[in-house]
Structure 1
Amino acid sequence: MIKEIFEPTLKQNVTKHIIEALPNWFGRPESNLEYINDVKDMLMFAYYENEQPIGFLSLNPHHESTIEIHVMGILKEHHRKGIGQLLVDYASRYAKAKHYKLLEVKTLDASHPDPYYKMTRDFYLSVGFIPVETFKELWGKDSPCLLLVKPL
């Protein structure tokens, strides 16, 4: 079941719980703290099973036509069960209903050999995102950023 979370502290707690359980994707404590702080002011949807959050997605509007998946995570034991696709579909329907034209996401570019982020890119491609541009310095020279968009 997908629920929208409104309470800022609950948003932060859900984010902290899930990203701390995913060290292969969220291995930088300073970045994790930024995500945990950022989500309190963002729109958030979480997937619950047995009253426990097992996945979440937060959205950050950037422009009247574009909204971004700021951070997303699914507990590892629930990967490849369709939960990520459900969350992206839900966010896409929400964004389209609010008259956004594009859903965007940033992730680590393929020029970086990280196998976990290859899985992330493959996921986003599988749910309709299109690679747009690589920013080689946005996150620092060792972390090339790939911008992907999904037309709504």
Structure 2
Amino acid sequence: MMKKFVTRLGLTAGVAALALGGVSGTAQATPGAAYVGPGYPNNPHAVWCVQHLMNDVSRQYGQPTVDEDGVWGPKTFAAVKTFQNRFWATSSNGADGIVGPTTGEYLLSYGDAYYGRGNYCFWYLPSPDATFLPVAGTRLD
């Protein structure tokens, strides 16, 4: 009888510890998240995040969107270059169509807050510093 009680108590404590550990961590982008673009591994989840977050920003500005199919192709590549030209590219750091830390930061910051910022897409997109993200929904112009 006592053995069953101790076993149940141990299992309950273990489940509680896992639950608390899962919710107490801070939300940060994965430091090693791969770049997304031509010549990169292009995880389908990462590509979907690029497409979804970019589409959210594009809709805010009345711009065309791309299919959210998780497949990197010429339309997604062109849309990323357009996004970069609109928001941060200059003559000294031109748009390359690759989602690296800067583009990832903008997408996570200004795209759909439900998937961006500290949520799902943080695990798939590169970002230089998760603590520097501006408030979601803020327009860039």
Same fold by TM-score greater than 0.5? no
Which structure has the highest strand share of the two?
1
* Bigger radius of gyration among the two: 2
Instruction: Say which structure, 1 or 2, has more relative contact order (CA 8 Å, 6+ apart).
Output: 2
TM-score where L is the length of structure 2: 0.29
Judging by fraction of residues, say which structure has more helix. 2
